Amino acid sequence: MPNILESIPHEFQADAEAARAWFSEDQGSEFKLTGIVDPEAVDPTNDHRALQLILCGTRDGQDVCLRERFDVTSTGTGLEVALAEDETPEVGSAAPLLDPPLGVRASWLSEAVAKHAFVVLVFYRGFW
């Protein structure tokens, strides 16, 4: 089971923000950084880091939360960011990995209710 943290550890904040900004620009829509997956598996002293981040925003008019993998490289002039090459998917359902972290759900729901006359939440086998 992956370890998902809502708070980005200090040593990864610059990398995570650079990845979020790059992804938002690439997607043409603003995304919020809502979590990091397995930060203990990343060596913060390495110049090349592979981060897994949970980003929430709007894509094609729909509110989405995505788990994306980024390659972040420190250069002499800053940070270079790219989407990581696809790896073999993890065994089991990816649905719970795409849910926003627990603390983010309340704010996400409040934002969704403010945008629409009503909001329908669909629960399927424990996922939403």
**Burial of 114 per CB tally in 10 Å (0-12, 13-18, 19+):** exposed
CA angle 98, 125, 54 (to 5 degrees): 10
Residue 24 lies inside a defined structural domain of this protein:
yes
**Burial of 22 per CB tally in 10 Å (0-12, 13-18, 19+):** middle
What integer is the mean pLDDT of 87-115? 62
Those residues whose C-beta lies under 8 Å from the C-beta of residue 22, and which sit 6 or more positions away, are: 70, 81
pLDDT value at 33 more than 80:
yes
Q: Are 34 and 68 in contact (CB under 8 A)?
A: no
The domain that holds 70 is classified in CATH as 3.10.450
Tens-place pLDDT, residues 53-94: 999 988 888 888 888 999 999 988 889 999 987 654 455 545
**In 3D, which of 3, 79, 94, 77 has the Cα closest to residue 40?**
3
Residue 46 lies inside a defined structural domain of this protein:
yes
- Is the pTM for the entire model greater than 0.85? no
Specify the number of domains making up the chain: 1
pLDDT of residue 100: 57
Domain ranges, residue 84: 4-115
Q: Which residue has the higher pLDDT, 36 or 126?
A: 36
Residue 123 lies inside a defined structural domain of this protein:
no
